[in-house]
Amino acid sequence: MTKVLFIGCFDDSRANDKYKLIKQLLIEAQEQEKLSVQRNLILLRIVNIVLLMRPICRKFNGQPLDRVYQELYDSIKGKLLQEISKELTEYNPSNIVVSEWVKRIQNQVFKQVLNDEQLKKLGIEAQKYPPKSALRGHALTELIRSIQLSGKLYHPHQEKFPAQLYQLLYEEALTETLTYICLNIDKYDPNRGNKKFMNWVNFRLDRLIFDCYRRFNYLPDRQLPSLQDIEQIYQQERQPFLSELIYQYIEEDTDNVFKSTHIRNNQNANFQNIALARFSGQNWEQISEELDISISTLSSFFQRCCQRFASLLQEELQE
């Protein structure tokens, strides 16, 4: 399968000319007084040039941007103006390559603006258009590029493989994940996966790392993809995609058992949230930071829950 190529910040055949103009304008802006009207006008012109080379929020057949894309465009524009203005005093044309300087700022802006809620909006937008239509193709292109630029893709299970092998597995798994999103965007339910769009994406990526490994004849069939502690409950897979069944059962939590079991005085630190985060590829450090709870406390709580719910999970999966 063809590997997914991570798109660059700006893809424009005349980008070099634009960077030269940006460099000239940056020098002119530095010569103006801070907060002056002239300086702000120059900065706004720089931002507009940068936006001409944007990889997302592109118009479809020259038509005006739809509301979702226009809002995203405006957010990007505002953040770019803010970041370039803030870093202008540190810009030194003699020892800084302007293209790298602009791309670094642009990367920062995309990671700030393309949060999970924004990606969810782009996913829902893609669902609005008929399958195989040109508009859906455009919407999916916007979504996939935004996912790649967001910095929200996890790199699960790096510690389990040699670096060179992991890179091969990750590229293949990512390609298949993004392909799956394009072909199955209608299956995305914004009310599942802790209502986080990237949980849906990263769970698929997490599982496909192991699927690729299995196809390369490295992984024994009995090993389950993701969530190592729950894997220990089962000695072998009795049906395909067992991890997805576990994920679905914990997520649905019909009897509210998993959500109601939480670390004392912190209802957000419940077994359901922690288990789904692990399924989605988050490591213990990320979960610890998000919940503001030490890794040792999380790990101890999680181990106890796995033992407590082992028979319940096994009984459900046997059914």
Using alpha carbons only, give the angle 31, 35, 41 rounded to the nearest 5 degrees. Answer: 70
pLDDT, mean of residues 253-263: 85
Specify burial of residue 206 (Cβ count, 10 A radius: 0-12, 13-18, 19+). buried
pLDDT, mean of residues 187-199: 85
Whether the CB-CB separation of 272 and 251 falls below 8 Å is answered with yes
Token duo for residue 227: 């969530």
Going by pLDDT thresholds of 50, 70 and 90, the confidence category of residue 317 is low
Query: Bigger pLDDT: 3 or 62?
Result: 62
Crossing angle between the packed helical segments 197-215 and 271-279, to the nearest 10 degrees: 50
pLDDT, mean of residues 78-106: 92
Report for 36-50, 192-206, 216-230: range of highest mean pLDDT: 36-50
pLDDT at 6: 39
What percent of the chain is helix, strand and coil (3-state, nearest 5)?
A: 65, 0, 35
Is the pLDDT reported for residue 76 higher than 70?
yes
Is the pLDDT reported for residue 7 higher than 60?
no
Alpha-carbon gap, residue 216 to 270, rounded angstroms: 36
pLDDT, mean of residues 243-263: 80
Going by pLDDT thresholds of 50, 70 and 90, the confidence category of residue 201 is very high
SS3 label, residue 208: helix
Segments making up each domain of the chain, as ranges: 15-113, 223-319
pLDDT at 312: 73
pLDDT at 244: 66
Is the pLDDT reported for residue 131 higher than 50?
yes
pLDDT tens profile 150-178 = 999 999 888 888 888 888 889 889 989 99
pLDDT at 319: 57
pLDDT at 307: 75
For 241-297, give the DSSP string. THHHHHHHHHHH-TTSHHHH-B-TT-TTSBHHHHHHHHHTT--HHHHHHHHT--HHH
Mean pLDDT across the chain: 83
pLDDT, mean of residues 306-317: 72
For 111-134, give the DSSP string. HHHS-HHHHHHHHHHHHTSPTT-H
Whether the CB-CB separation of 210 and 219 falls below 8 Å is answered with yes
Which of 8-22, 186-200, 216-230 is predicted least confidently?
Answer: 216-230
pLDDT at 205: 92
- If phi > 0 it is left, if psi is from -120 to 50 it is alpha, else beta; for residue 315 that is alpha
Is the pLDDT reported for residue 223 higher than 80?
no
Going by pLDDT thresholds of 50, 70 and 90, the confidence category of residue 181 is very high
pLDDT tens profile 8-39 = 444 444 778 899 999 999 999 999 998 899 99
Alpha-carbon gap, residue 170 to 168, rounded angstroms: 6
For 127-187, give the DSSP string. HTSPTT-HHHHHHHHHHHHHHHHHT----TTGGGS-HHHHHHHHHHHHHHHHHHHHHHGGG
Whether the CB-CB separation of 173 and 155 falls below 8 Å is answered with no
Is the pLDDT reported for residue 124 higher than 70?
yes
pLDDT at 78: 97
pLDDT tens profile 55-73 = 999 999 889 999 999 999 9
Query: Bigger pLDDT: 215 or 22?
Result: 22
Alpha-carbon gap, residue 303 to 226, rounded angstroms: 15
Q: Cα–Cα distances in Å, from 215 out to 169, 208, 219, 237, 241?
A: 10, 10, 8, 16, 15
Is the pLDDT reported for residue 212 higher than 70?
yes
pLDDT at 193: 66
Is the pLDDT reported for residue 279 higher than 70?
yes
